[in-house]
Amino acid sequence: MNLNIVAVVAGLVMSLTWVSGASAADTEDQIAKRLMDAVPGLKVTSVRESEAAGLYEVQSNNGDTIYTTADGVYLLTGDLLKITDNGIANVSEASRAGQRQEQMAAFAGKGVITYPAKGEQKAVIDVFTDIDCPYCRKMHDEVPQLNEYGITVNYYGFPRSGPGTPSFRKYESVWCAEDQREAMDAAKGGKSVAQKTCDNPVEEQYRLGGQVGVTGTPAILLEDGNMVRGYVPARNLAEGLGIL
């Protein structure tokens, strides 16, 4: 048998024995402490028992999911998969989707730039976007089509170059404009936008993107917390949402 597998199995057996002598809360606290002590800069945001006996699911400030034995000694990274009657289910992604829903609800749409659905609203998507991203611009060209399908588009700022950069200041100028949608349309079309400053939530939105796992743009968050990474043609997106 592969020695790595033997080591993990042995760790699971030892951790199950160890858990019996400690409360669940104590176990979770000790896992968090052990990981943060071992990895400088890591901030554990949650620890809970996973569906797999003997493994705990750890969420961190960088959006990664870590699985650990109860004693915090053995670690596994990557997605946890489960064999079901309907095939292979991604347990990790389902957990992340639930967390994203909570994080987005807590943020409560602060300062989003909204392109509302035409007529009856059938779906809402939250899009983390970068004005200078070519595929973000391509998606923006299709926002009117999405609106016609009954999809409301909420834009969250995620200038990939980060705070203090020209692209970031450009997004802030759009947000501070008297007519945000007009300024966004112009900027996404490659036109210059008057530089403006004001109190704005762009940096908060940028940090939120990192917390929910955005690594590139556009990143489309659906109402169930699932994330679509990258550009998807408007019709395909509407079909995926069950609207067409």
Catalytically annotated residues: 130, 133, 136, 160
Q: Contacts from 62-69 at CB under 8 Å and sequence distance 24+? A: 62/210, 63/210, 63/211, 63/212, 63/213, 65/92, 65/95, 65/96, 66/35, 68/31, 68/35, 69/11, 69/12, 69/14, 69/15
Closest CA to 172 of 103, 113, 106: 113
* Cα(44)–Cα(60) distance, integer angstroms: 4
Q: Which two three-digit tokens encode residue 41?
A: 């800069």
- 3-class secondary-structure state, position 221: strand
* Cα(239)–Cα(234) distance, integer angstroms: 9
Contact 132, 140 (CB under 8 A): no
Give the 3-state secondary structure of 4-49. HHHHHHHHHHHHHHHHCCCCHHHHHHHHHHHHHHHCCCCCEEEEEE
